[in-house]
């Protein structure tokens, strides 16, 4: 079975943020760090070369595949900020309806600019998702 490519690393979060060329994307990343740190009570860590994650949990699928992932996290990509783990609560669809301008993928939330969304709703989504994951996967 293949190893999970997304693993916690010792890379510097500050250096990663400082290397973001777009000043608006860099500013959004700093706000997302504060929001996610507040929601988890965890310090940011790099997961792989481009994901900033907060906390961790262990998962194990029926197939036998298992590993560790951040509770929540994000990656400031060129096209949009990609947020991971914010759709884990039972009312996430209702929260998304209140969020503002965004798109979704299989498990991700894409936000081009934080100014386009309600940050209070985003924060509430983060808190609820973290609580749901911690309830399912206690350490």
CB-side neighbour CA atoms (13 Å) of 106: 0
CA-CA-CA-CA torsion sign (124, 130, 136, 139): negative
Tens digits of residue pLDDT in 46-56: 999 999 999 99
Q: Which helix (H) or strand (E) holds 76?
A: strand 72-76
Report pTM.
Answer: 0.92
Sheet holding 81-84, edge to edge: 44-47, 51-54, 72-76, 81-84, 108-111, 103-104
All residues at 6 or more sequence positions from 106 whose CB lies less than 8 Å from its CB, including other chains:
none
Cα angle for residues 17, 21, 25 (degrees, 5° grid): 65
Tens digits of residue pLDDT in 61-103: 888 888 889 999 999 999 999 999 998 778 888 999 999 999 9
């Amino acid at each position: 079975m293949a190893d999970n490519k997304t693993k916690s690393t010792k890379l510097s979060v500050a250096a990663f943020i400082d290397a973001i060329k777009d000043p608006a994307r860099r500013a959004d990343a700093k706000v997302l760090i504060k929001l996610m740190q507040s929601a988890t009570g965890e310090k940011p860590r790099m997961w792989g070369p481009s994901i900033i994650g907060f906390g961790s949990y262990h998962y194990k699928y029926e197939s036998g595949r298992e590993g560790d992932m951040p509770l929540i996290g994000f990656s400031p990509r060129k096209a949009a900020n990609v947020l991971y783990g914010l759709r884990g609560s039972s009312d996430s669809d209702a929260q998304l309806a209140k969020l503002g301008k965004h798109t979704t993928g299989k498990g991700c939330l894409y936000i081009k600019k934080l100014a386009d969304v309600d940050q209070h709703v985003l924060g509430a989504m983060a808190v609820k998702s973290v609580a749901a994951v911690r309830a399912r996967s206690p350490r």
